[in-house]
């Protein structure tokens, strides 16, 4: 990696925080994505994480997306580039436990696509979010097109992609693109507080909820109901449900170990 590209990983109480930095705009170069990919593999191998937070350092931008200098306008390049980008992004999207993007400043293009791979997004009130790819003659093909249509609905997603215009954090919260707003400079803190709260819940339940919700949304309703039934059986065969019920009866907070 070049000297201006850095990725760090820290873990505390089941919450892993992955912070990346590449100039003041946190450009997602190919070496940067490769480093993020390596850390995700590490977390998956260790199997101790209950919540993953992803954050672009510096305060000016979560990320403004891909390094345009890497673009090679030739036949086949779109397939090569986006296949690799999807491979890394899908690994985050498919992470078995909840993921949160802590957005401070600009989240544009591939930067917003990275945030969209996460289950939740916390943005500071000064943030701006958008997919300006159309201004370069391309489109958000790193998952952004499909994530936006599923999250916002077809019409609103098309508006963002057709115009390429960014929106404020407040508007992003209003339309459901962002889950929570934080004061300027406190997106990471707010995301970590939310992450610790989520991590205190049953790990097995978190895993089942994510799996059932992510798979079920792609299925007809009655088929998705079958996933719920199977998920419930997994939980009732686990240890956490016994602790949860016992803690309820004893009027104390549960201590989950699974």
pLDDT in tens, 47-105: 999 999 999 999 999 999 887 787 777 877 778 778 888 999 999 999 999 999 999 99
Residues contacting residue 192 through CB under 8 Å, at least 6 positions apart: 15, 17, 53, 102
Q: How many helices (H) and strands (E) does the chain have?
A: 10, 10
Residue 20, CA atoms < 13 Å, CB-side half-sphere: 33
Residues 235-239: contacts with CB within 8 Å, 24+ apart? Answer: 235/202, 235/204, 235/205, 235/208, 238/204
pLDDT at 3 exceeding the cut of 70: no
Query: Strands, E, within 37-118: which ranges?
Result: 51-56, 61-63, 99-103, 106-108
Instruction: Find the length of the chain.
Output: 258
Residue in 21, 85, 133, 186 annotated catalytic: 133
Round to whole Å and give the CA distance between 79 and 75. 9
Query: Is 133 tagged catalytic?
Result: yes
Evaluate whether 23 touches 57 at the Cβ level (below 8 Å).
Answer: no
User: If we measure between CA atoms, which residue out of 110, 124, 140, 128 comes closest to residue 165?
Assistant: 128
Residue in 12, 46, 70, 113 annotated catalytic: 113
Strand order in the sheet with 61-63: 61-63, 106-108, 128-130, 167-168
What's the pLDDT tens digit per position in 174-229? 999 999 999 999 999 999 999 999 999 999 999 999 999 999 999 999 999 999 99
pLDDT at 172 exceeding the cut of 80: yes
Map tokens 């997004």 to a residue: 121
Map tokens 């305060």 to a residue: 59
Q: b/e map of 227-242 (b: 16 or more CB within 10 Å)?
A: beeebeeebeebebbe
Average pLDDT score over residue span 32-39: 94
Query: Is 113 tagged catalytic?
Result: yes
Which ranges in 94-121 belong to alpha helices (H)? 110-116
């Amino acid at each position: 990696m070049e000297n201006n590209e850095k990725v760090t990983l820290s873990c505390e109480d089941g919450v892993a925080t992955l912070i990346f930095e590449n100039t003041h705009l946190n450009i997602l170069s190919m070496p940067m994505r490769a480093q993020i990919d390596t850390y995700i593999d590490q977390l998956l191998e260790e199997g101790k994480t209950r919540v993953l937070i992803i954050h672009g350092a510096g305060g000016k931008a979560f990320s403004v997306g891909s390094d345009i200098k890497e673009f090679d306008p030739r036949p086949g390049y779109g397939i090569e580039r986006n296949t690799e980008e999807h491979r890394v992004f899908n690994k985050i999207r498919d992470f078995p436990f909840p993921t949160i993007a802590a957005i401070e400043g600009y989240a544009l293009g591939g930067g917003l696509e990275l945030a969209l791979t996460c289950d939740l997004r916390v943005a500071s009130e000064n943030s701006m979010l958008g997919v300006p790819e159309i201004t370069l003659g391309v489109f958000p093909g790193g998952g952004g097109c499909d994530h936006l249509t599923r999250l916002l609905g077809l019409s609103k997603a098309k508006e963002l992609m057709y115009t390429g215009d960014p929106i404020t954090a407040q508007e992003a919260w209003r339309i459901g693109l962002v889950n929570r707003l934080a004061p300027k400079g406190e997106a990471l803190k707010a995301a970590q507080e939310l992450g610790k709260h989520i991590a205190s819940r049953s790990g097995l339940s978190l895993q089942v909820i994510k799996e059932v919700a992510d798979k079920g949304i792609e299925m007809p309703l009655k088929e998705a109901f079958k996933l719920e039934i199977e998920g419930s059986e997994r939980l009732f065969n686990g240890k956490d449900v016994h602790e949860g019920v016992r803690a309820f009866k004893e009027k104390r907070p549960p201590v989950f170990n699974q």
